[in-house]
Amino acid sequence: MNFNKIYALGLRHLYLIMNSFPRVLDLIYWPTVQIFLWGFISKFFTINSDYYSDTVGVILTAAILYDFLFRASISFNMMFLEEIWSRNFTNLFIAPIRIREIIASLTLTAIIRTLIGLVPAVLIAIPLFGVSVLKLGIPLIFLLIALYLFGITLGLLVTSGLLRYGPSFENIAWASLFFLAPLGCIYYPIEILPNSLQIVAKSLPLVHIFEEMRSILMNNSVSYINIFKSIMISVIYFIFGILVFYFSYFGAKKRGTLINMGE
Amino acid sequence: MFIEIKNLTKKYNKFLAVNNINFFIQKNKTIGLLGPNGCGKTTTIGMILGLVTPTSGEITIENKNISTFKRDEILNRFNFASPYVELPKKLTVRQNLEIYGRLYGIKNLNERIDEISEDLNIKNFFDRKTGELSSGQKNRVSLAKSLINKPEVLLLDEPTASLDPDIGDFVRSYIQDYKSRNKVTILLASHNMSEVERLCDSVIMMREGKIIDEGTCSDLIKKHGRNNLEETFLKLARSKNEFQ
């Protein structure tokens, strides 16, 4: 791995953000709207539901964590799509940067994009709704790692689709997370799902992450075994995502789609 | 750096884009790759750049198969420019050159950027976003990017397409001048015959994925009894089965 090259590609995306104030606003706008929306829903449930009565902000914390996953994945996809939209794709793929360095750079830069969007929203939630994700304590770090890895994995799978099917796969990029959300048990416990779907849901890291989040906030109990399990599942998916990406890259070379990838 | 193309074929499903071509690019020479649209020029360039996997055949660089090189090892010595491939539009010219300079691992990058910007006369719009430039300005920036690493092999795909005659002439003169000052092997795909006559040491004519003729411009003109390369090109492009 050459860190200068990883930095160079990251810099390309940072310049893109820094050169455009509307782009920064766009990054911040959606997470903030989400926080407001879920903040008020959360407040309503807290007042009217026994289940959440002792734990103000469970839903809002879930919304924040889910948005972190969503932003990580979308950031990864967006950076890849930027290369297609700007017709820079060929230049990038003939530059002496290895595929693993491209993946590493997009993975590391996605965290910056994600945080630009999410940190203001998280800070707004503290005075406005009295909810802070920091209440999760040290486990928060591990939950974020698991979420981030899974978000990047979804990004890898979508970009693999872009390599395989071209820009027409773009719509799937936006739909991918909504497809998994019902199985992620973000706002409700896994028992709500039918038995057959529970089996599928358990194979995703999301269930373990959000169950653990609820357990910490509602019962004050931390299970590092569950957290470790969620990280391990995310790592397995991440490795799978990398393999799929490589497979798609070599497939794209065979089909010749790398040379004329554009809008 | 010399390049040899041996029995190179690329098939997309049933479509034969490049059909068993062979040619040799001598070190520090400029070779023109000519042919009508869809004749396989871009696919050939794509295979040399490692963007397209050949169906069969091989590309060797200094007698070593290109597939045995590490990706970055070979691409460090190559570069490419085409009006159909752009640099990020929202980044300034300076930022784009900085990023590509870093990707190519250029030492003393600021000096190199200064040098090439001076040469290509792009300093006066250095801090403007690339997407806001005219096509002539974009073209020169793209050329600057393609020379940032002082490539041993430069692949140019229609480098003066859609440029006005003045800028087109500037680009051709610059390539000529650059070549006289640097050791570089150039593969130039173009539809501009006067450009090819001016820049290329020899040309390869392609049609329907095959090489139908090759030689120096003057030899080809003489061989086909025409007055210039354009007439020769038209004859070769239109005489369907004569050379197959």
Reported as a single tens digit per residue, the pLDDT across B167-185 is 888 889 989 899 888 889 9
User: Hey, what are B112's tokens?
Assistant: 């190199």
B203: pLDDT strictly greater than 90: yes
Q: Which of A5, A91, A94 sits opposite B87 (nearest CB)?
A: A91
In this prediction, residues A228-242 reach a mean pLDDT of 96
pLDDT of residue B160: 86
B118: pLDDT strictly greater than 80: yes
Smallest CA-to-CA distance from B71 within A105, A140, A99 is with A99
Q: Sorting pLDDT into bands at 50, 70 and 90, what band is B220?
A: confident
Do residues A45 and A124 make contact, with C-beta atoms less than 8 angstroms apart? no
B77's CB contacts (< 8 A; 6+ apart) are: B1, B149, B151, B152, B153
Domain span at A153: 3-255
* Closest B-chain CA to A18: B91
Measured CA to CA, the distance from residue B97 to residue B23 in angstroms comes to: 33
Domain count, chain A: 1
A258/B51 touch (CB, cutoff 8 Å), yes or no: yes
Q: Is the pTM of this model over 0.80?
A: yes
* Closest A-chain CA to B76: A96
In a domain, A8, yes or no: yes
DSSP chain A: --HHHHHHHHHHHHHHHHT-HHHHHHHHHHHHHHHHHHHHHHHHHHHH-STTTT-TTHHHHHHHHHHHHHHHHHHHHHHHHHHHHTT-HHHHHHSS--HHHHHHHHHHHHHHHHHHHHHHHHHHHHHHHS--GGGG-THHHHHHHHHHHHHHHHHHHHHHHHHHH-GGGHHHHHHHHHHHHHHHTSSS-GGGS-HHHHHHHHTSHHHHHHHHHHHHHHH----HHHHHHHHHHHHHHHHHHHHHHHHHHHHHHHHTTTTT---
pLDDT of residue A53: 58
pLDDT 10s digits, A89-133: 889 999 999 999 999 999 999 999 999 988 998 898 899 888 888
Q: Does residue B145 sit in helix, strand or coil?
A: helix
In this prediction, residues A15-19 reach a mean pLDDT of 89
In a domain, A119, yes or no: yes
B84: pLDDT strictly greater than 90: no
A173: pLDDT strictly greater than 80: no
In terms of phi and psi (left: phi > 0; alpha: psi -120 to 50; beta: otherwise), the region of A130 is left
pLDDT of residue A55: 57
pLDDT of residue B43: 92
Average pLDDT, chain B: 89
Q: Which of B43, B73, B91 sits opposite A12 (nearest CB)?
A: B91
* Closest A-chain CA to B155: A94
A162: pLDDT strictly greater than 80: yes
In a domain, A197, yes or no: yes
Residues of chain B with C-beta less than 8 angstroms from the C-beta of A253: 50-53
Report all structural domains of chain B as residue ranges with CATH numbers, in order of start: 1-77+154-244 (3.40.50.300), 87-150 (no CATH)
Residues of chain B with C-beta less than 8 angstroms from the C-beta of A11: 98-99, 102
For residue B219, count other CB atoms closer than 10 A to its CB: 13
In this prediction, residues A42-67 reach a mean pLDDT of 77
In a domain, A262, yes or no: no
Q: Sorting pLDDT into bands at 50, 70 and 90, what band is B244?
A: very low
A145: pLDDT strictly greater than 80: yes
In a domain, A202, yes or no: yes
pLDDT of residue A42: 77
In a domain, A263, yes or no: no
Q: Which of B51, B78, B103 sits opposite A90 (nearest CB)?
A: B51
In a domain, A196, yes or no: yes
A69: pLDDT strictly greater than 80: yes
Interface ipTM > 0.90: no
Q: Write b or e for each residue in A51-78: b if 16 or more Cβ atoms lie within 10 A of its Cβ, otherwise e.
A: ebeebbbbbbbbbbbbbbbbbbbbbbbb
pLDDT of residue B161: 84
Q: Which of A11, A86, A259 sits opposite B46 (nearest CB)?
A: A259
pLDDT of residue A54: 52
Tokens 């042919």, located at residue: B35
Residues of A with CB under 8 A from a CB of B: 2, 4-5, 7-9, 11-12, 15-16, 19-20, 82-83, 86-91, 93-99, 250, 253-256, 258-260, 262
Q: Sorting pLDDT into bands at 50, 70 and 90, what band is A11?
A: very high
In a domain, A155, yes or no: yes
B162: pLDDT strictly greater than 80: no
